[in-house]
Amino acid sequence: VQDVATSQSRGLRGDSKSLQQWKEKILEILAEIQAPLSLFTLRLCHWVLLKLLNRLFLSVQLHRGQLEMVLKAARTPDVPLAFLSTHKSQLDGLLLSFLLFSQRLGVPRVTVEGQTCSPRLRALIACLGGIFLPWRMEQAPSNEDEGLAGAVLAAYVEEVLRSRQPLVIFLEEPSITLHLSASARRWLAGLYRAVCDGVVPDISLVPVGISYDVAP
């Protein structure tokens, strides 16, 4: 009996250790996707962005018809928002985040092409609401969406939709137009699966865009 109890105890310790290892892997992948929002960094960057906009552009204009469409979609009860946009410049993510936040739509989660960011820039953007694919998924072929990283990403998308955090998905890479990027396919696939699995009854897909007289 003592031998059996000892064996069971070792098994439980082994299971506990295995669970702890899985938990650490999951938290590691989640940290690659997002970081906690920093309110101080958000306020500071909004102030810096205003100064930058005043130097780069003569004016920033909002399309009233598009703004009304966005606000109408935001008022739909129990339906999360996903904004779809094309990429014109590296400033698009900051501008969209700033404009949506200024309209009291909360701090949106903005998808970012992680391969174009240095580790320090990636850490800063994550504090401002930027989200990234896990490293292993960025480096994998576009049709490979399996494994632990894919499961964590799917769970993350579901949680964003449940909590009704606005999500901004860029359909292209900044340097390539009229071509759906691999990361965009993964994010859109997450939305599709969430609806099919009944996580949310529906998603409002709202097209938004930024145009420049001269792209910065």
pLDDT bin (cut points 50, 70, 90) of residue 4 is very low
Identify whether the C-beta of residue 160 lies closer than 8 Å to the C-beta of residue 109. Answer: yes
pLDDT of residue 9 exceeding 70, the answer is no
Distance between CA atoms of residues 201 and 168, nearest Å: 19
More confident residue, 23 or 137: 23
Of 6-15, 54-63, 100-109, 178-187, least confident by mean pLDDT is: 6-15
pLDDT bin (cut points 50, 70, 90) of residue 158 is very high
pLDDT of residue 7 exceeding 60, the answer is no
Of 97-106, 174-183, 204-213, least confident by mean pLDDT is: 174-183
pTM comes to: 0.78
Mean pLDDT of 47-76: 80
Mean pLDDT of 198-202: 90
CB atoms within 10 A of CB 52: 14
Which residue from 110, 61, 46, 114 is spatially nearest to 83, judged by alpha carbons? Answer: 110
Residues 6+ apart with CB under 8 A from 36: 127
